[in-house]
Chains A and B, each alone.
Chain A
Amino acid sequence: MKANILSILIETRPESNFESSTNFIEDGLLDSLDMVVIISEIEEQFKVKIDGTDIVPENFCSLEAIVRLIRSAK
């Protein structure tokens, strides 16, 4: 799952170095528009529906956070 998520992140922001970041939001690698694109991809690839109230920066700050988000939506 992590590899697929990383692939989505890289496709969304190819110029960002996600692997060296400890917080994608604080490090400026993702913004709110990116979160929208990522959610759309996640919902399509993992066949889940992300609740609107879960679309907060804390759930997109790391690969682990995004994995937790997807698992909670399953």
Chain B
Amino acid sequence: MKNFDFPESRSLKLMKVMGYNKHRLVRDIDCSSDLVIRGFRYLSDSLLIDVSSIDALIVVTQSPDFLMPSTSSVIQGELGLKQDMLCLDINQGCAGFIIGLIQAFSLLDQDSINRVALVNVDVLSRKVNRQDRNSYPLIGDAASIAIIDKKDGEEIWANLKMDGSRREALMIPAGGMRLPSSPETAEVYDAGDSNFRSKDNLKMDGSAVFNFVQTEVPPLISDILNFSGKSDEDIRAYAFHQPNKFMLEKLADKLGIKHEKIPMDVVERFGNNSGATIPTVLATNLKDQLISGKGLYCLAGFGVGLTWASMVMSIGPLDFCEQIDYP
């Protein structure tokens, strides 16, 4: 909180309510592919997977190494993966794990695709102004790798909604083709309420995003439970995107779900690491149960786009489920 003009009492209050504590941020030289390559080399060196068996690599990111080529191509090249494969980037964030899973499952319907590597990665701290108190204390950087194999199994249910008309609630205005980065876009201005950022920085309308989640996510979850014929009693745990603790508590109250069934502490341990928050829940909060057996889980992601999506599926026992550090 030393970046902001907060009295200590307010900082402590925010820490308790929002779940601020620690966040993991990359250095200014680290890119998304660096985190991912570290992860794949760990998996390979540990003999957990043979990377040459990967038939499709999906990289879900909103902080790519380059505008072109794709970050998946960068990773494929650096790791020396086979040429007979699909490399695909998806520009998604908060709901990105669900979107990535939907894409992975579609690809696995192809005869020639038996193994998909789904990566969710962002280094968005590099695009958040340190004096933006709406965003900087919350942000985290991470990469997740999910290896998904074709297998006859149980049903998977998913639902998905998008609303691009509300896209400006969470965006980085400059740096794309609509408004290329320039000395003007790099100028820091007072965005109001003593929050400072430039047009090159991430901006979030906190109230709009909060209201969107509280309004849209409860019916999404009710719908997926109805659609799947499951109830709260059937769900072992809910792995939700982790915007902050306050929002998740309100969501749990609205859904009538016991707080113990929805892990809410990723922000206080790692920060909000975008599309990797759901995998972080799986690899940390739910690791033991996912390694030891099978259970029915409800996953949900919601945020940038705006996008909201959920999935009910059986997961486990997993061959591996770990969190490792970078570098």
**Which residues of A does B touch, CB under 8 Å?**
11-12, 14, 28, 30-33, 35-37, 40, 49, 51-53, 55-57
Given known pairs A28-B193, A52-B250, the reply for A33 and B14 (CB within 8 Å) is yes
Given known pairs A32-B207, A33-B206, A55-B211, the reply for A14 and B134 (CB within 8 Å) is no
Q: Which chain A residues lie closer than 8 Å to B18 at the CB level?
A: 33, 36
Within 8 A of A (CB), among B190-239: 192-193, 195, 205-207, 210-211, 213-215
Given known pairs A33-B206, A35-B207, the reply for A55 and B13 (CB within 8 Å) is no
Q: Which chain A residues lie closer than 8 Å to B134 at the CB level?
A: 31-33
- Report yes or no: A31 in contact with B195, Cβ–Cβ below 8 A: yes
Q: Which chain A residues lie closer than 8 Å to B16 at the CB level?
A: 40
- Report yes or no: B246 in contact with A56, Cβ–Cβ below 8 A: no
- Report yes or no: B17 in contact with A37, Cβ–Cβ below 8 A: yes
A-B contact pairs, 22 of them (CB 8 A): A12-B10, A30-B193, A31-B192, A31-B195, A31-B206, A32-B205, A32-B206, A32-B210, A33-B14, A33-B18, A36-B14, A37-B14, A37-B17, A40-B13, A40-B246, A51-B214, A52-B250, A52-B253, A53-B211, A53-B215, A55-B207, A57-B207
Given known pairs A31-B195, A36-B246, the reply for A49 and B211 (CB within 8 Å) is no
- Report yes or no: A52 in contact with B210, Cβ–Cβ below 8 A: yes
Is B254 close to A, CB under 8 A? yes
Distance from B99 Cβ to chain A, minimum over Cβ atoms (Å): 24
Distance from A70 Cβ to chain B, minimum over Cβ atoms (Å): 16
